Amino acid sequence: MTEPTHIVQSNGFSRMPLIDTLRPFEEQLRFTLNRMDGATLWAYSLWRAPEGASLRASLPFSDEYLQSAATGRR
């Protein structure tokens, strides 16, 4: 496992470091987005943690991020 450098957030409240323990980063992102079935509102955000941040101590927000979001109808 590599040291986490990015943070992910689901539905605006569940936030954690992006880790590669179970699968590589690319596969982890694909797996998570494929689980969002479009039955309800959802959002998934990804951003880089500040340089030198200890993601074990805190999960800082960023003004720059990637987000994927949708409703059950779109």
pLDDT tens for each residue of 12-57: 888 899 888 888 989 988 888 887 766 677 889 999 998 888 887 7
Q: Which residues contact 14 (CB under 8 A, 6 or more apart)?
A: none
- 1 pLDDT band (50/70/90 cuts)? low
| DSSP 8-state symbol, 3 | P
Q: Tell me, what's the pLDDT at 30?
A: 86
d(Cα 42, Cα 60) in Å, to the nearest integer? 21
d(Cα 62, Cα 74) in Å, to the nearest integer? 27
Q: Tell me, what's the pLDDT at 72?
A: 59
Q: Tell me, what's the pLDDT at 27?
A: 92
